[in-house]
Amino acid sequence: MKKMFLTGVSVAAIFAAGPALASDSVVNQNGLGNDAAVNQTGSTGDTDSTIEQNGTNNQANVTQSGDNNNVTISQTQSIALGSTDPSNEATVTQQGVDGDLTILQEGDNRATVTQGEASVDDDGLIVQVGLENSAELTQEGDSQAAGVLQIGGGNTATISQTGAGTDPAIPTVEEVLAGEADGAGIAQLGTSNIASITQTGLNDGSGVLQVGDRNTAITNQAGISSFSGVIQTGTDNVAGVSQNGTDGYSLVLQEGSANTADVAQNGGDLSTVNQLGEGHSATVSQDGGAISDIAQSNEAAGAPGNRATVSQNGASISTVTQLGQRNSAGVTQTGDGNQSLLDQGGPPPAEANKIGDSNSTATIAQNGSGNYSQASQRADGASVSVDQDGVDNRSTIFQGAGTFNPADENGDNAVASVAQTGNNNVSDIQQRNDDVSATVTQTGDANDSGIIQNARFGIASVTQSGGSNESDVSQGTAARGADAIVSQTSSLAGIGNYSNITQSAEDGYANVTQDGEGNDSNVSQSGANSAPPRMEAFVTQTGLNNESDVIQTITGAGALADVDQDGAENVSTVSQHGNAEAYVSQIGDSNASTVTQNVGSDGSQAFVSQLGDSGSSLVTQNAGDNTATLTQTASSLSAYSEITQGGGSNNSASVTQSAEADSFVTQTGNGNIATVDQSGAGALSTITQNGTDNSAQVTQASASISTVSQTGIGNLAIVSQ
């Protein structure tokens, strides 16, 4: 596997500066206080050791045991070192077969290399330039390759290789440092950096590049054919990588200061962490072929960092992008084929939006297979929570502006929460203004909910249980304070409940509750209300295949519609304009009620209550202080009542009927009053009044027929049968 890692480091140039290898043992010391000790024991073949020291107080110790071991140590003292003479120290112990080692030191550095008895064909290179650098290399496996490059002061590098190494090819140290072959390579350019690589597997590759001060990188590999790369540029960055399993890949890029990354992988996982700025924190835990990509950025100087945590068990994909400060993201996925795309603040954009979001929170939890979640937040203080359990669930949440223009950065404090349990549930939430909230809970299979809020203070909550429920809530751009709450329960046999709410007003409120199969409710409220807030719609349906349609269009205060249907196959339609109220309650089956109160119908009220089955009522009121009240009693089979009041003012009509009774009331003029009370089957009453101050009252028993028609002024008719 070919990996570009330590780019820009010319290993060939380092080797060109080293001495030529020689056979046997050659020691060349020039200066004062140089010490060299070479002990080659147990050699049955070619064992070479070359030590060249130039300077003061240098020490070199070589011990070789085995066949064909090679050691090269060169210690020079040509840099400005202050008043105190430094002392380079190099210690080498080789007990294996065909081990190769090269140590080049300039300054007050220390290098220790141990190749154990079990090591075969191991290669090592240590290059130290500076003061108080420390490098420790331990190799006890086969075909291991390791390289350490330290330029600066106070750097610490530790490499431990106890695995099987590469098989069959033996990589060179140059290939390891350049990221072109498996093995271990550490390059430190700065001061007080700490790097540690531990490899106990087969064909693992790990590289650490540190440019800056006080960076820490720790890598542990105990798998097969895994790769880990850590690049740290800046100060006080910390990265930890642990890999187990086969074909794992981890890359950590840290540019800035005080960033923290922790990656733990088991079994063919892939993880990339890219941190730009200050104070970011990223934690990745994966098992089962998962893929994770985390990008964090806060380009404002001194800004607090972002926090991201990803936990995956299974072959799932997670992407987290954070731009801004104090954003928090948590992704948990269990199962195969799940995918989560989380964007907080967007990717690093143009100059206009480098600040990004702040204090946003996102939590994504998916359990099952084939689930998909995408959440995008461009809002300060926004919160997203998605919990999906099942198969092939879909959830998409967008909060904030749709452009990268800072003037469009709306959506602050938006809250969205989605919980789906079952299979094939779909939820779509889009919010683009301040202080909005949306909550969707779906339980069962194939529930569908879409919420779009383009207004401040809008709240929409949808709860669906059963199967095949569908709810659509849209609250317009000017719907300040609009609320919509929908709760649907179905047993799936009737192809589920359906509810659609559209509100485009400041004071709109709608509440729909449906229980049973195949219920349908549509509420549309539009216009503007003056204080106090008034426009409201309540629909409650229990039974099978009930249908309710409420449309309220108003420009002034008022408008309230309350529809309650119990039973099956009931239909209610209410359309209101102006200062109108309508209450419709139907209990039984196959009842139908239509109430229409038109524009300018000041103080209009209509109350319809049908008890029993197959009742029909139609009320139309236009302008004035109209009031219509209809009651058709229990078991009102095929009872029919029609009330039409138009034009005038102070009109009132009240009808009370029993089963199979029919009543028609039409009033045009001012101050008209009509009251009809019928009991028994076959009763028929028709009242038509045209003029002013008309009044008609009819009371009938079974099978009675009464017709009253008045045209003129001050007429009065009373019929009692």
Please write the tens of the pLDDT for every residue from 111-123.
Answer: 888 877 656 677 8
Task: Give, rounded to a whole angstrom, the gap between the first and last alpha carbons of the chain.
Answer: 102
Banded pLDDT at 366 (limits 50, 70, 90): very high
Q: How far apart are CA 278 and CA 276, in angstroms?
A: 7
Cβ(556)–Cβ(530) below 8 Å: yes
Q: How far apart are CA 409 and CA 429, in angstroms?
A: 17
* pLDDT for res 274: 97
User: Whole-number mean pLDDT of the chain?
Assistant: 82
Q: How far apart are CA 454 and CA 474, in angstroms?
A: 8
Q: What are phi and psi of 603, to 5 degrees?
A: 65, 20
Q: How far apart are CA 485 and CA 316, in angstroms?
A: 34
Give yes or no for residue 405 having a pLDDT over 60: no
Cβ(638)–Cβ(613) below 8 Å: no
Cβ(310)–Cβ(287) below 8 Å: no
What percentage of the chain reaches a pLDDT higher than 70?
A: 79
Give yes or no for residue 426 having a pLDDT over 50: yes
Reported residue count of the chain is 721
Three-class SS state of 312: strand
- The pair of three-digit structure tokens given for residue 400, joined into one six-digit string: 């904030």
What percentage of the chain reaches a pLDDT higher than 90?
A: 42
Mean pLDDT along residues 407-429: 79
Q: What is the pTM of this model?
A: 0.83
- The pair of three-digit structure tokens given for residue 636, joined into one six-digit string: 């009102």
Q: Which of these, 660, 658, 630, 661, lies nearest to 644 by C-alpha position?
A: 630
Please write the tens of the pLDDT for every residue from 138-187.
Answer: 888 677 788 899 899 999 999 988 876 654 444 554 565 455 556 889 99
Instruction: Output 306 or 507, whichever has higher pLDDT.
Output: 306
Enclosing H/E stretch for 645: strand 640-646
Specify the DSSP class assigned to residue 113.
E
Q: How far apart are CA 663 and CA 644, in angstroms?
A: 11
Write the single-letter amino acid at 137. Answer: L
Please write the tens of the pLDDT for every residue from 212-247.
Answer: 999 999 999 998 888 999 999 999 999 999 999 899
What is the residue-wise DSSP string for 484-522? EEEEEE--STT---EEEEEEESSS-EEEEEEESSS-EEE
Q: How far apart are CA 237 and CA 651, in angstroms?
A: 81
Enclosing H/E stretch for 16: helix 11-16
- The pair of three-digit structure tokens given for residue 13, joined into one six-digit string: 């140039």
Banded pLDDT at 611 (limits 50, 70, 90): confident
Banded pLDDT at 402 (limits 50, 70, 90): low
Q: How far apart are CA 505 and CA 255, in angstroms?
A: 49
Please write the tens of the pLDDT for every residue from 248-305.
Answer: 999 999 999 999 999 999 988 999 999 999 999 999 999 999 999 999 998 767 778 9
* pLDDT for res 367: 94
Give yes or no for residue 28 having a pLDDT over 70: no
